[in-house]
Amino acid sequence: MTKFFSIVITSILSGSIALACHGGEVDKGTTPQPGDKTKQYCLSDETSVCSFIWFQSHINSNTPGKFVVKVLGAELNGTDVKVDLWMDMGNGHGHGSAPVKMTEISQNTYQIEEAHFIMAGEWLVRVQFTLNGKLAKIEIPVYVSE
Ligand SMILES: [Cu+2]
């Protein structure tokens, strides 16, 4: 009987792990709504350079998301900035998504459209740019509940 229950529990656990993947620290249980902003995430070696997201659509795995990425504390060259979506599945495995559509609204401010969060779980929006000749990357956790 104990063995039976441990098999059931193991399969439930592995099922939930397959559905909800691992990422950074995120506000679990709430999926971003239009108007929501994330907190600021900063470079570890250049703590005055930070980024945050301002959501413009309800983020879910069925419809393409829309949001604005803002970078603070550095003057970026727009053509040098890349934004993509990443999901860390744990055990060194991860996956991305289709490329997003990105438009520079003003310096350091980027409109992102066609953001396909293709499954529920913990995503990272990765903002990459060159800073003082080096590649810098800020990862903003986004939790998608459905
Ligand atoms: Cu995943």
pLDDT in tens, the chain (146 residues): 445 444 444 443 434 443 444 444 555 668 999 999 999 999 999 999 999 999 999 999 999 999 999 999 999 988 899 999 999 988 889 999 999 999 999 999 999 999 999 999 999 999 999 998 999 999 999 999 99
CA angle (51, 53, 54) in 5-degree steps: 140
Which pTM value belongs to this model? 0.80
Cα of 120 vs centre of ligand 1, distance in Å, is 7
The distance from CA 35 to its chain's CA centroid, rounded to whole angstroms, is 17
Cα of 76 vs centre of ligand 1, distance in Å, is 30
Assigned token pair, 124: 């990272």
The pLDDT of residue 27? 56
Residue ranges of domains in the chain, CATH in brackets? 22-144 (2.60.40)
Cα of 70 vs centre of ligand 1, distance in Å, is 25
The pLDDT of residue 122? 94
Cα of 103 vs centre of ligand 1, distance in Å, is 26
Nearest to 141 by CA among 74, 64, 53: 53
